[in-house]
Amino acid sequence: MRQVTGTAAPTLLRNEPRRRDPRTFQPFLKLGRLLAGIAPGRSPLPDGTPINLAVGDPQQPAPALLSETIAAYPNGWSSYPPFRGTPEYQQAAVDWLARRYGLPEGFIEGERHVLPIPGSREGLFFAGLSALSLGAAEGRDRVLLPAPGYHVYAGAAAAAGAEPVFVPATRETGFLPDFAALDPAILDRTAIAFVCAPSNPEGAAADLPRWRALLALARRHGFLLAADECYAEIYFGEPPAGALQAALETGSLDNLLVFHSLSKRSNAAGLRCGFLAGDPGLVDAVEAFCRFGGASVALPVLQAGAALWNDDGHAAVNRAFYANLFERAEATIGGRFGWSKPDGGFFLWLQVGDDEAAAVRLWREAGIRTLPGSYMVADTTLQPNPAAGFLRVAMVFDETVTVPALERLVEVLDG
């Protein structure tokens, strides 16, 4: 029996890997089944149409720069794009990392350290497969992931037949997982550990000491630290620290990959464009797996992506949009549901009691679709479920939709 230490530590009941059905890790399939056959109530919108606040799907338009750049490269669709991307895209990624995290010239080199990916989802998934493949000879068959967390992490473990180790991310742990509290024997069998910061769904940022400790732990036990930083540009206050800053202190990228995407930063989820960067041997390994089952990023998309990474102005405008929404949320919600303004991201994480019942009630009475927090923890043996009793609410629509939706949400759940 394995146990995570700390307040109300859940018990992890399995010791050996076994094949899992990846469909059990998909929260939106569960949500569809929960609400199937239930007619949505009239929403607070003038036409009464339902409002989907369950999915983190940016609703603001992408910058005009995107379509303008795509249009300027009409002939790029006929060629297979290089998996390593173009020199222009590599340099744009390097330059943005340097600006965002204060990295010196030469610490990240485009050709050695950067791999374009069609959004962070694909990169995270293939990083899991590659880390488990590389670690198989050493008996590394564990995947560490936050509970709650992004379902792709557990999906990678399921696809590889590995054992996911769900580690609670609760108020007591700062809404980030405490991997150091695990049994060292588990850490020695770990191939990859996923950390999202600012976290999905809670919006908790990792400070530099935490990144420093996570990287040291990964190196001490020989696993890959996968830093999912796709919300790094949506923050309220000072820019949150990044894992590369901890790596810079050591002068090494060993055991580290960071993942960034234009989906949230640039409202470009449909572009399918991002990159991973870090340990060159691990970058090579992920590229090899992508060549088997992944897709490289199309040349016109790489051109548009480079233009977006090179432009910080639109990201600042986008950040101000979300900051305004969270100010409105503070005014509407106040101190209800155990909520306080997060460090970043665009989700509300509301403590509502029975999360499934709350989601059903909001759908039936108000036409508002939300995600039960318990659905973001796929391991039913993790007791108590650290996300039970919470709702994830996506703050993605403008205030003409978001404010009446939040007012109705409070009315229904407080009623």
Digit-coded pLDDT (tens) for 280-330 = 999 999 999 999 988 899 999 999 999 999 999 999 999 999 999 999 999
Q: Which residue, among 172, 134, 125, has the nearest Cα to 152 in the 3D structure?
A: 125
Confidence band, pLDDT 50/70/90 cuts, at residue 23: low
Per-residue pLDDT, 309 = 98
**Beta-strand (E) ranges in 169-230?**
190-196, 224-228
The residue to which tokens 């997982």 are assigned:
177
Residues 253-277: tens digit of each pLDDT: 999 999 999 999 999 999 999 999 9
Residues 236-258: tens digit of each pLDDT: 999 999 999 999 999 999 999 99
**CB 352 within 8 Å of CB 395:** no
For 66, residues 6+ apart whose C-beta sits below 8 A from its C-beta are 266, 268, 271, 304, 307, 308
Confidence band, pLDDT 50/70/90 cuts, at residue 50: very high
When computed from its CA atoms, the radius of gyration of the chain, rounded to whole angstroms, is 21
Residues 148-206: tens digit of each pLDDT: 999 899 989 989 999 999 999 999 999 999 999 999 999 999 999 999 999 999 999 99
Residues 374-415: tens digit of each pLDDT: 999 987 678 899 999 999 999 999 999 999 999 999 999 997
Residue bearing the bigger pLDDT, 119 or 91 = 91
| Residue 262, φ and ψ in degrees, nearest 5 | -90, -5
Q: Give the DSSP H/E element, type plus range, for residue 39.
A: none
Q: Enumerate domains of the chain plus CATH numbers.
A: 21-61+314-414 (3.90.1150.10), 64-311 (3.40.640.10)
State the average pLDDT over residues 31-38. Answer: 96
Q: Give the DSSP H/E element, type plus range, for residue 143.
A: strand 142-147
Confidence band, pLDDT 50/70/90 cuts, at residue 335: confident
**CB 369 within 8 Å of CB 51:** yes
CA dist 157 → 165, 189, 303 (Å): 10, 13, 33
Residue 9 has pLDDT above 60, yes or no: no
Residues 218-230: tens digit of each pLDDT: 999 999 999 999 9
Per-residue pLDDT, 22 = 59
Residue 97, helix vs strand vs coil: helix
**CB 151 within 8 Å of CB 378:** yes
Share of the chain above pLDDT 90, in %: 88
Q: Count other C-beta atoms under 10 Å from residue 46's C-beta.
A: 8
Q: What's the pTM value of the predicted model, to 2 decimals?
A: 0.93
Report how far residue 83's alpha carbon sits from residue 80's, in angstroms, rounded to the nearest whole number.
Answer: 9
Report how far residue 88's alpha carbon sits from residue 316's, in angstroms, rounded to the nearest whole number.
Answer: 23
Q: Which residue, among 374, 372, 22, 373, has the nearest Cα to 164 in the 3D structure?
A: 22
